[in-house]
Structure 1
Amino acid sequence: MAAKGGVNEIAGRYAKALFDLADEGKKLDDVAADLRTLGTILDESDDLQRVVRSPVISRADQGKAMAAVLDKLDVSDLTKRFVGYVAANRRLFALKAITKAYLATLAARRGEVTAEVASAKALSEAQIAAVEEALKKAVGGKVAVSHKVDPSLIGGLIVKVGSRMIDSSVSTQLQRLKLAMKGA
Structure 2
Amino acid sequence: MNQAAKRYAEALFKSAQEIKEVEQIRQQLNVLKELADQHSPLKKMLSNPLLNKKEVANALHELTKKIKFSTLLSNLLQMLALQKRLSLLPKIFSYFEEITDQSQGILNAYITSAQQMNEKQKKALSELLGQKLSSQIKMQEKVNTDLLGGYIIRVGPYLFDNSLSYKLNKLNQSLKKVL
> Within 2, Cα distance between the matches of 1:20 and 1:80?
16
2:11 pairs with 1:17: yes
2:39 pairs with 1:49: no
Give the counterpart of 1:139 among 114, 129, 138.
129
> Within 2, Cα distance between the matches of 1:161 and 1:101?
17
Residue 30 (structure 1) aligns with: 24
Residues 162 and 64 of structure 1: CA distance in aligned 2, closer, same or farther (over 3 Å): farther
Q: In the TM superposition, what is the alpha-carbon distance from 1:61 to its structure 2 partner?
A: 1.3
Residue 62 (structure 2) aligns with: 68
> Within 2, Cα distance between the matches of 1:116 and 1:44?
26
Bigger Rg, structure 1 or 2: 2
2:82 pairs with 1:92: no
Q: In the TM superposition, what is the alpha-carbon distance from 1:73 to its structure 2 partner?
A: 2.6
Instruction: Let me know the Cα RMSD of the aligned residues.
Output: 3.2
Residues 144 and 30 of structure 1: CA distance in aligned 2, closer, same or farther (over 3 Å): farther
- Give the aligned length: 138
Report the residue type matching 2:42 in the other structure: L
Q: In the TM superposition, what is the alpha-carbon distance from 1:69 to its structure 2 partner?
A: 2.5
Residues 145 and 38 of structure 1: CA distance in aligned 2, closer, same or farther (over 3 Å): farther
Q: In the TM superposition, what is the alpha-carbon distance from 1:113 to its structure 2 partner?
A: 2.1
Gaps of 5+ in 1: 1-5, 118-127, 147-159, 165-184
Percent identity between the two aligned chains? 22
Conserved in 2, the CA contact under 8 Å of 1:132 and 1:144? no
Conserved in 2, the CA contact under 8 Å of 1:11 and 1:97? yes
> Within 2, Cα distance between the matches of 1:77 and 1:65?
15
Q: In the TM superposition, what is the alpha-carbon distance from 1:41 to its structure 2 partner?
A: 1.1
Gaps of 5+ in 2: 112-118, 141-152, 160-179
Residue 175 (structure 2) aligns with: none
